[in-house]
Structure 1
Amino acid sequence: MAKPNKKGPTKTVDIYCANCKTPLFKYRKGGKGALIKCFIERIIQDHTTKPCVCPQCDKSFARETMVRGAPAYKMIGGKVTFK
């Protein structure tokens, strides 16, 4: 399968922890659907200290995985929100 486009979309979204509303990422998201995965190369700002763990409440919100040959975070349902 093809790798995701490195430059990617121009629309950015802010991703927050659903539990404590702490900002986690600023991300270039494509499409208008739900947030299922975040390609690491599309993350503009990373506010986390440990990967996939909220810095405020220490709860895990995603899992590290490979999607189409690129490293990504696969979001756990209901753990994050975005605007």
Structure 2
Amino acid sequence: MAKPNKKGPTKTVDVYCGNCKTQLFKYRKGGKGALVKCFKERITTDFTTKACHCPECDTEFARDTLVRGTPAFKMIGGKVFAK
């Protein structure tokens, strides 16, 4: 399978915890669909201290995985939202 585009999209979204509304990171997202996965190379600003856990309420919001051979976070449904 093809790897994701290195340069990626220019539009950034803010990703927030669904439980306590804390900002988790800024992400260069492509397309209009829901936030299902976040490629690590597209995260511009990371506000988390422990990977895949909210720094405020310590809720696990994603799982660390490989998607098309590239490191990514796979979001757990309903745990995050993007603006």
Tell me the residue number matched to 1:16. Answer: 16
- Count the aligned residue pairs: 83
State the 4+ residue runs in structure 1 displaced beyond 4 angstroms. none
TM-score w.r.t. the length of structure 1 is 0.99
* 1:68 CA displacement: 0.4
Q: Distance in 1 between matches of 2:38 and 2:18?
A: 16
What 5-or-longer segments of structure 2 have no aligned partner?
A: none
Matched, 1:69 2:69: yes
* TM score, norm. by length of structure 2: 0.99
- Please state whether the residue corresponding to 2:15 is helix, strand or coil: strand
Aligned-pair identity in percent equals: 77
Structure 1 residue runs of 5 or longer lacking an equivalent are none
